[in-house]
Amino acid sequence: MKVELLYFDGCPNWQLADERLRVALVQAGREDVHVQHRQVTTPEQADAAEFRGSPTILVDGLDPFAEPDAPVGLSCRVFRTEAGLTGAPTVEQLRAVLS
């Protein structure tokens, strides 16, 4: 399994997503998976990566949280959770896509 965390420096939530991702990997029994971090710095990079905002988590190259109508670009991203919209997926949501 390949897991990437795409972000841009202006995003206040990518580090929270990274922490939750690491917890979810441990809970899913996937301590063997190394999270690769990729900084997106230009609109061209955002287009090429289909970057729907920061943070974006790719599992084997796919964004499991992508909403089809979400724009591509250098922006902060929100995720739908049971508690409402938030800047990072929950540990439970991440564990579900990593299992």
Q: What is the largest CA-CA distance in the chain?
A: 36
Spatial separation of the C-alpha atoms in residues 23 and 21, rounded to whole Å: 5
Residue 79: which residues within 8 A CB-CB, separation 6 or more? 65, 85, 86, 87, 88, 89, 90, 93
Residue 5: which residues within 8 A CB-CB, separation 6 or more? 14, 17, 18, 21, 35, 36, 37, 38, 55, 56, 57, 58
- What are the pLDDT digits (tens) for 8-54? 988 989 999 999 999 999 999 999 999 999 999 999 999 999 899 99
The pLDDT of residue 55: 97
Report if pTM > 0.85.
Answer: yes
Per-domain residue ranges for the chain?
Answer: 3-98
